[in-house]
Copies of this chain bind each other. A is one copy, B any other.
C-alpha cells in the first residue's frame, strides 16, 4: 500500500510540533552513564556527540553511518595494490583498574591493536573502538579515557574510523571494557612468519619486560608492597618500522603481551619446531620491577607487556637491529637469545650460573585482568 498525500490535512498541528522537535540540540547534562546512553536514542546521540566526536572529530566518524567507508586508494597506491596485503586485528581490553601509572585502558586499547598490526609487518591505518560501559561510570572518567585514545591514535598515526557504545546495568560489567579492531597495510610482501625462522637466528627484545603487569598489580593497591612502576604502554609501530628498514630480512615479530615473554617464546618454539635458547642475564628487567616480582614470587618472564616486542633476525643483522631500535627511541633493546635445533619445539633459559631450565607456557592465571 502506497502512502497518500494526507500531510496537508493536519499541517498546522504538524508545524507546531516541528518547532518543538526539530533539530533540538542534544545536550549532555548527565554526570554518569545511564542505560539510556546505550539505547541508540537521544541520550546515545548526545554521548557520542559530546564525548566521542569532540575528542575524535575526524571526517570518517562524521559520516554518521554504522560503517566507515575508506577509499582503497587511501590505503595503498595503485602500483602497490597487486602485492599488497591487509592486516586485520582485534583485541578486547578489560584491565582493572582502568587507570594506572603510565596509562589507562583507552591508551592500552589503541596501542595494543596498533602493535598487533605493526608486528604483523603492517602500517596501522584505521581503528574501530567499541565500548561496553557499566551504568554509573562517571562521564568525566570516560572523557579522560577517550581523550587518551585520541592522543594515542595521533601518536601512532592511525584514525579512529568507527565505533559503538553499549551500556550494561550496574553489576553486569566493571566500569568500562573496550574492544578495538584495526586495519593496516602491508605495503609489499614481507617475509615475516614462523616459516622464515632458522637455526642460528638471533632473538631481540625491544625493551624492559614486565613493567605493565607489575604496574597494574601495584595500582590495585591490595598488595602488601608498593613500588613506583609505570606501564610500558606505547605504540611500537615506529620501532618496527625502524627495525624492518634497517633489517629488511627480519624473520618474525610479536608483541609480548598476555602471558609475557615466556608465552610468546613458547609459541615461537612450537610453531617453528625449533628451540629457543634465552640468556637469562641478557633479558632487560628494571631493578624495581624485578624486586617487586621477587617479593611476590612472580617470574617476570610471564608478566604482560604493552609496549615491548620480540623479533627474530639473522645473526649477522642482530647488532644493526638493536642499534636501529635504540636510534628510533627504544629504551633498552637487547639480543636475548637465539634459535637452536635442540631442544626442539621448546624454550630453555640459560642462567647466569651456566645451568639451564625449561621455560614452559603460562599455566593458570597469576595476574587476571592485566590487559
Contact = CB atoms under 8 A, between A and B. Distances in A.
Interface stretch (A129-137, A141-149, A217-225): A129-137
Contacts of A361: 41-42, 45
Contacts of A258: 39-40, 44
Interface in A166-188: 166-169, 171-174, 177, 179, 181, 183-184, 186
A282 interface: yes
11 contacts: A3-B282, A18-B358, A21-B346, A66-B89, A68-B89, A70-B85, A71-B86, A88-B162, A89-B162, A92-B131, A168-B177
Interface stretch (A75-83, A231-239, A292-300): A75-83
Contacts of A304: 40
Interface in A324-371: 334-338, 340, 342-346, 348, 350, 354-358, 360-369
Judged by DSSP, the binding face of A is: mixed
B278 A91 contact: no
A164 B90 contact: yes
A281 to B, nearest CB: 6
A31 interface: no
B179 A168 contact: no
- What range describes how many residues of A lie at the interface? 35 or more
A163 B181 CA distance: 9
Contacts of A2: 279, 282, 335
Contacts of A181: 90, 128, 130, 179, 181
A65 B117 CA distance: 10
A67 B40 contact: no
A56 interface: no
A348 B165 CA distance: 28
Interface in A19-78: 21-23, 34-36, 38-45, 64-73, 75-76, 78
Contact of A132 (B9, B70, B177, B344): B177
Contacts of A254: 65-66
A354 B165 CA distance: 39
A210 to B, nearest CB: 14
Interface stretch (A150-158, A241-249, A263-271): A263-271
Q: Which of A165, A360, A367 has the most CB of B within 10 A?
A: A360
B9 A356 contact: yes
A70 B88 contact: yes
Given A66-B120, A132-B179, 14 more contacts: A1-B279, A9-B355, A10-B355, A17-B346, A35-B368, A64-B271, A65-B254, A66-B254, A70-B86, A92-B131, A92-B164, A164-B179, A166-B177, A168-B174
Contact of A67 (B71, B94, B117): B117
A24 B316 CA distance: 34
The 8 closest A-B pairs by CB, nearest first: A41-B362, A40-B258, A3-B279, A40-B259, A39-B365, A181-B181, A90-B128, A179-B179
